[in-house]
Structure 1
């Protein structure tokens, strides 16, 4: 159980760093398609981070109904970000492929 907590903590930190990195790349990009791709990757990593964070919170703290509600909200927000990022990534990838033809 302790190993799972450490793995989840490392995943939260890694996805957080990747989200910040893609956020910077998105803001610095001049091309709109590249900006959209980086923003969609940021959403995917942020969604994964929220999902991992909610699972970690459920494992670390027990016994509170407020905690369950907060974890559920984090999980739903993470799933929404994950799917929105995946949808946007497919859209911008298609735009880039059409441009390269």
Structure 2
């Protein structure tokens, strides 16, 4: 029997957009596919469902929840232009990356 621990998990920081250069949202999760699905289907009411922010345009994987939360908080303090530059560095056409993580 395998023992499950948080040390075996991956954590993700992600950026969603409503469209290219649209409204941005920064979040953190331990299950990226499930969380993006929740945003896309508007399962949880809030900012992303109110502003139709459903396109996964950037994400980063970390090994610890502490690292992921720290990264998320840092990104949330960034200027918008810096977030756009980060997205365009790896996803210049703002493709929705959701299908690629399934």
Band the TM-score falls in, shorter-chain normalisation? under 0.3
Q: TM-score, normalised by structure 2?
A: 0.27
Q: Give TM-score, length-normalised by structure 1.
A: 0.27
| Higher alpha-carbon Rg | 1
Point out the structure with the larger helix share: 1
